[in-house]
Structure 1
Amino acid sequence: MSSFSQQAADLAARIGTREARAAVIGLGYVGLPLAIAMARGGFKVTGFDIDPSKMEAIAAGRSYIEAVPDATLNEMRDSGHFRATCDFAELAECDCIAICVPTPLTAHRTPDLSFIEATARSVAGHLRKGQLISLESTTYPGTTDDVVRPILEAGGLKSGVDFFLGFSPEREDPGNRQFETVTIPKVVAGDGADAAMLMEAFYGGFVHKVVPVSTNATAEAVKLTENIFRCVNIALVNELKLVYDAMGIDVWEVIEAAKSKPFGYMPFYPGPGLGGHCIPIDPFYLTWKSREYDQPTRFIELAGEINTSMPHHVTDRLGQALDRVAGKALSRSKVLVLGLAYKKNVPDIRESPSLKLLELIRERGAEVAYHDPFVPEIPRTREYMDLKGMRSVDWDEATIRGFDAVVIATDHDATDYAALARWSDLVLDTRNAMGRHGIAAPHIVKA
Structure 2
Amino acid sequence: MQSWSRPTVPRLPGTGVFPRIFDSATQSLVEASPYPATPGIASIYVCGITPYDATHLGHAATYLAFDTLIRVWLDAGLEVRYVQNTTDIDDPLLERAARDSVDWRELAASQIELFRGDMENLCIIPPDEYVAVTDVVPDVADAVKVLLQNGSAYHVPSAGAADDVYFDSGFAATAWHLGQESSLDRATMLALSAERGGDPLRAGKRDPLDPLLWRSERIGEPAWESALGRGRPGWHIECSVIALAHLPTPLTVNGGGRDLVFPHHEFSAGHAAALTGHPLARIYAHAGMVAHEGEKMSKSLGNLVLVSRLVAGGADPRAIRLALLSERYRNDWEWTDAHLRSAEQRLISWMGWAATTAIEGEVKGASGDSASGDSALVEGGVVSGGASGGASGDGALLTELRERLADDLDTPGAIAAFDAHIRSGAAATQTAIDALDALLGIRLAP
Confirm or deny a common fold (TM above 0.5).
no
* TM-score of the aligned structures, taking structure 1 as reference length: 0.26
* TM-score of the aligned structures, taking structure 2 as reference length: 0.26
From the two aligned structures, give the one with the greater strand fraction. 2
